[in-house]
Structure 1
């Protein structure tokens, strides 16, 4: 494994032709912290990866709750794309990332303020990245 990989912008990626992707997007169970899908990001993180993840989750279960770092920005678009989410799903910004949002956003989307989320923080994939970073730096 190469520990020199850094997720960078497309401009920086052009300078270094070594990697075709510039990051990884993941989907996992927010409650249990288990990653379910990983996607290579080749053009910057966009809503499209979140939409692919929601589409994948809806294929196996009719009702999903969505936790995403910027769910506050894409909730309406998610519901217009996937009408089955309207009224039956809850949305939360992952706990760690919520503190970078405005107070009004936190009041609406922080998982501690939404019934049913309990102490779920949605940061399981971040824990995986942290572990892998430590593991890779040891090799």
Structure 2
């Protein structure tokens, strides 16, 4: 998925007026700048010591994990989310539509439209921002992407991943040093 996204992003996007974005570009840019998760260069873990820098999960409506992906980059790059979206749609009937609650759904949708990423799935996705993260977005984004203001979400709050992480917190100490790390050669230590 990483190479697919890179290839699509190299192509020149359509003109802003022709994109069909649900919000003006200036609002989406301010939203993008306000979230650390959208900054792909922001490191949450050391890539010098560890190959795995974090996890990304896709959970169902009932907060059950469907797929979990190891992140191996310094920042939270979009191709991880796209890999999960592709895995989901590859395992669903062709006539199913999906409500996708994501912390930065406005940015994922924007990139899908601008660069035609997973374009075959886009018409089948209704994007919304998880409730807790909605208030970090710009006001127009809150109005358009809040699940309480979007038909089809009912009382879903999109915090399933937060619940999933909370249930795994007892594993954090042992996983903190998981993955391949640089360990000095035993023979080189006097």
TM-score (norm 2): 0.60
Residues 86 and 55 of structure 1: is their aligned pair in 2 closer, same or farther, counting only changes over 3 Å?
closer
* CA-to-aligned-CA distance 1:41-65 (integer Å, 9 cap, x gap): 1112111011101111111223322
* Matched position secondary structure for 1:84: coil
What is the root-mean-square deviation in Å for CA atoms of aligned residues? 2.4
Residues 10 and 70 of structure 1: is their aligned pair in 2 closer, same or farther, counting only changes over 3 Å?
closer
* Matched position secondary structure for 2:141: helix
Q: 2:111 matched to 1:77? A: yes
C-alpha distance in 2 between matches for 1:108 and 1:57? 24
User: Over alpha carbons, which structure has the higher Rg?
Assistant: 2
Equivalent position of 2:30 in the other structure: none
Q: How many residues align?
A: 127
Equivalent position of 2:43 in the other structure: 9
Equivalent position of 2:157 in the other structure: 121
* CA-to-aligned-CA distance 1:82-127 (integer Å, 9 cap, x gap): 2333444210011111111111111010111100101111111111
Structure 2: tracts of 5 or more residues without a match: 1-41, 175-190
Equivalent position of 1:102 in the other structure: 138
Q: 2:88 matched to 1:57? A: yes
How much has 1:11 moved relative to structure 2? Answer: 7.4
TM-score (norm 1): 0.79
- Maintained 8 Å contact 1:57/1:64: no
Residues 96 and 59 of structure 1: is their aligned pair in 2 closer, same or farther, counting only changes over 3 Å?
same
* Matched position secondary structure for 1:126: helix
Residues 11 and 113 of structure 1: is their aligned pair in 2 closer, same or farther, counting only changes over 3 Å?
closer
Residues 104 and 41 of structure 1: is their aligned pair in 2 closer, same or farther, counting only changes over 3 Å?
same
Equivalent position of 1:68 in the other structure: 102
* Matched position secondary structure for 2:109: helix
Equivalent position of 2:21 in the other structure: none
